[in-house]
Amino acid sequence: CAWLRHLHISRAKIEWLAFLATRRDTFALPTSNCDGYRIQRREDNFRDPNRDFPYSRPDSHCLKTDTARLIFEIMTDTLTQIVVTFHGGMVALGYEWGSYDHPRGSDRSPDHAAHSSIGASMSALSGSGSRPNSTFYSAKPINSIVYPVHGGMEDWMYAGGWDASALRQCFEYPPRARRNAGLNNPRAIVFLVETSDAKRPRNHQLGRPK
């Protein structure tokens, strides 16, 4: 609180932040694919964890990686409302859709208004991008700025709880009745942040406090 007052944050806003902080949990996974990071490879257990989630995949081809299983456990054991995932390789800010079930960049999710509104605010507050002379991270549907994938984490986190036709059971993963029923699968608002054109950006490209 003293630090916030030093920044001239009003008492009302400090009380609001305290209310949020004491009634919500925040999970941070700095390197969810720790083995891949250690050996500087994308794969985990010889598979791409970004294609390993139980959405729009065959039942026998999902949750094979430790990375996907770790995130699966967190998401199915908590009621997560919003997720921000950071990647490298380009500069962008994306939201649903990102799957082959909704492959066109013009496809709109049921929560498109919320996605685009929050995304616009994030873009405006993000500062300059890593490209020379760039201004802000552009917020758009994933399929309009990247490409669709099968088994993508973002789509599963958003629609895995209610898009039953695309939900998968992942036969080889230890089953639970609730998993097969999809009762606790996630329904989060998800944003994909592509932080830099470089896979390993330099520290000065990652932003700083204003």
The pLDDT assigned to 132 comes to 56
Distance CA 204, CA 184 (A): 40
Percent of the chain whose predicted confidence (pLDDT) is above 90:
25
Q: Is the pLDDT of residue 83 over 70?
A: yes
Residue with token string 């097969």: 180
Distance CA 169, CA 176 (A): 10
Q: Is the pLDDT of residue 44 over 80?
A: yes
Cβ atoms 157, 188 nearer than 8 A: yes
* Band (96; pLDDT cuts 50, 70, 90): very high
Q: Please tell me what DSSP assigns to residue 138.
A: P
Cβ atoms 49, 67 nearer than 8 A: yes
Distance CA 205, CA 185 (A): 35
Nearest to 30 by CA among 60, 2, 67: 67
Considering only 42-51, 79-88, 126-135, which range has the smallest mean pLDDT?
126-135
Q: pTM of the full predicted structure?
A: 0.81
* Band (84; pLDDT cuts 50, 70, 90): very high
The pLDDT assigned to 180 comes to 46
Considering only 32-36, 59-63, 93-97, 135-139, which range has the smallest mean pLDDT?
135-139
Q: Is the pLDDT of residue 175 over 60?
A: no
Q: How high does pLDDT run on average in the chain?
A: 83
| Residues pairing with 118 in the sheet | none
Sequence-ordered alpha helix ranges (H) in the chain: 2-6, 11-23, 34-38, 66-77, 112-125, 142-145, 153-159, 177-181
More confident residue, 126 or 123: 123
The pLDDT assigned to 181 comes to 42
Instruction: State mean pLDDT over 77-100.
Output: 89
Percent of the chain whose predicted confidence (pLDDT) is above 70:
86
Q: Please tell me what DSSP assigns to residue 44.
A: B
Cβ atoms 190, 94 nearer than 8 A: no
The pLDDT assigned to 112 comes to 94
Considering only 52-61, 69-78, 94-103, 164-173, which range has the smallest mean pLDDT?
164-173
Q: Is the pLDDT of residue 90 over 90?
A: no
